[in-house]
Amino acid sequence: MSMTPERIEEIKKAIPEAEKFIEQNKIFIQLGLDGFTDEVFSDMRYLLAALEEAQQQAAEWEKNARTEYRIHNEVQDELRVAQQTIARQREALEKIEEELTDDTTERAQQINAIIGAALGEGVES
């Protein structure tokens, strides 16, 4: 049987009734069990309290795990966006570099042609 909060409450309510029953029927209970029954009920209360505490801890851990998972997903999304941004910027820089190289080569050829014309030389390719 599962230890649901309802079941725990059921057991808590049953303990005093069971203690009352045992107290009223001590004659029918072996003398050696008197101390034992007191310990059993004490242990049951302790175990129920420990169970409730463990359930609260488990609920808190589950809440924390969900929070950590959400944060992990947010960080992954941010990382993905950053990687895409870096890729776009890298592509843009490569295009700029390519254009600058083409422009520089073309401009150098123009300057050589101007210098060659000024010196009266033929244009070399």
In-domain check, residue 111: no
User: Structural domain tally of the chain?
Assistant: 1
In-domain check, residue 109: no
Mean pLDDT taken over the chain: 82
Question: How far from the centroid of its chain's Cα atoms is residue 40's Cα?
Answer: 41
Average pLDDT over residues 23-44: 66
With a CB cutoff of 8 Å and minimum separation 6, the contacts of 7 are 1
**How far, in Å, CA of 59 to CA of 62, rounded?**
5
**How far, in Å, CA of 106 to CA of 121, rounded?**
19
DSSP E strands: which ranges in the chain?
Answer: none
Using a cut of 0.95, tell me whether the model's pTM lies above it. Answer: no
In-domain check, residue 98: no
**Which of these, 35, 33, 38, 32, lies nearest to 19 by C-alpha position?**
38
In-domain check, residue 116: no
In-domain check, residue 48: yes
What per-residue confidence (pLDDT) applies to 58? 93
Span 54-110, pLDDT tens digits = 989 999 999 999 999 999 999 999 999 999 999 999 998 888 888 777 777 888 888
Tokens describing residue 108: 């150098």
3-class secondary-structure state, position 121 = coil
Give yes or no for a contact between 10 and 44, defined as CB atoms under 8 angstroms apart.
no
What per-residue confidence (pLDDT) applies to 36? 64
In-domain check, residue 69: yes
In-domain check, residue 67: yes
Q: How many residues does the chain have?
A: 125
Q: Which domain holds residue 73?
A: 5-92
Is 70 exceeded by the pLDDT of residue 31? no
Compute and round to an integer the Cα radius of gyration of the chain. 42
What per-residue confidence (pLDDT) applies to 40? 76
**How far, in Å, CA of 20 to CA of 27, rounded?**
13
Tokens describing residue 3: 């230890």
Task: Provide the percentage of residues in the chain whose pLDDT is more than 70.
Answer: 82
